[in-house]
Amino acid sequence: MYIEEGKERVVICPKCGMVSTEDMFLEGAKCYDCNEGIPIPIDLTWDEMYAKYYSEVEEKTGRYPTDGEVNEAIRKDYFYGKMDQDLDSKCLEIRKYKDTPEYIAECRDAANAAYYARQNGTSCSGPKCPSCGSTNLTRLSAVGKVARVGLFGRLGTGNLGKTYKCNNCGVKF
């Protein structure tokens, strides 16, 4: 279903208080922050939210507001004391973490890394080290495994089930 840009309704998750717009969700889809609640539409469109809350927060702070500040202003009007009876503390902590500058920076850095990997013709979708997450890996060769068993006998069988070696932390997996 196509919704005219700016006319999509604002939604709030009853479990964590995440604020978004309905175009981000299929009907009945779970919250992308806490993965528990199903966001509920409120009587506010994106254009109305932008006009009211961005200017309201800008007046209070004297600067252009962050999305987190605007979302908190919306929560005060529509969520706290009204629809927060299903609030889940675990979900709330997840949403609060995802509102932090550190998490936002992590997401930005991951998106930038993926963008530059695509631009350079490399893929960031390959295997990753389970220990440190690095993609700087060396594939263990079958010839090397056989030679190791030949030289060390039973002591050389440690690599038989392994495929990669991480060049950063040395873990074989």
Is the confidence at residue 92, as pLDDT, over 80? yes
What is the tally of structural domains in the chain? Answer: 2
Domain membership of residue 3 (yes or no) is no
pLDDT reported for residue 163 = 76
Counting residues of the chain whose pLDDT is more than 90, the rounded percentage is 0
pLDDT in tens, 15-64: 888 888 887 777 778 888 888 888 888 888 888 888 888 888 888 889 88
The reported pTM is 0.55
pLDDT reported for residue 138 = 80
Do 151 and 93 share a structural domain? no
The C-alpha atoms of residue 128 and residue 130 are separated, in whole angstroms, by: 6
Do 167 and 94 share a structural domain? no
Is the pLDDT higher at 138 or at 151? 138
Which of the residue ranges 23-27, 127-131, 156-160 has the most confident prediction, judged by mean pLDDT?
A: 127-131
Q: Are 124 and 114 in contact (CB under 8 A)?
A: yes
Domain extent for 34: 9-113
The C-alpha atoms of residue 79 and residue 99 are separated, in whole angstroms, by: 16
* Tokens read off for 60: 């209070």
pLDDT reported for residue 105 = 81
pLDDT reported for residue 6 = 63
pLDDT reported for residue 150 = 63
Domain membership of residue 104 (yes or no) is yes
Do 35 and 73 share a structural domain? yes
The residue out of 71, 90, 113 marking a domain boundary is 113
Mean pLDDT of 135-150: 68
Q: Are 20 and 38 in contact (CB under 8 A)?
A: no
Mean pLDDT of 65-83: 85
Mean pLDDT of 87-93: 83
pLDDT reported for residue 29 = 83
* Tokens read off for 50: 């932008």
Domain membership of residue 54 (yes or no) is yes
Domain membership of residue 83 (yes or no) is yes
Domain membership of residue 31 (yes or no) is yes
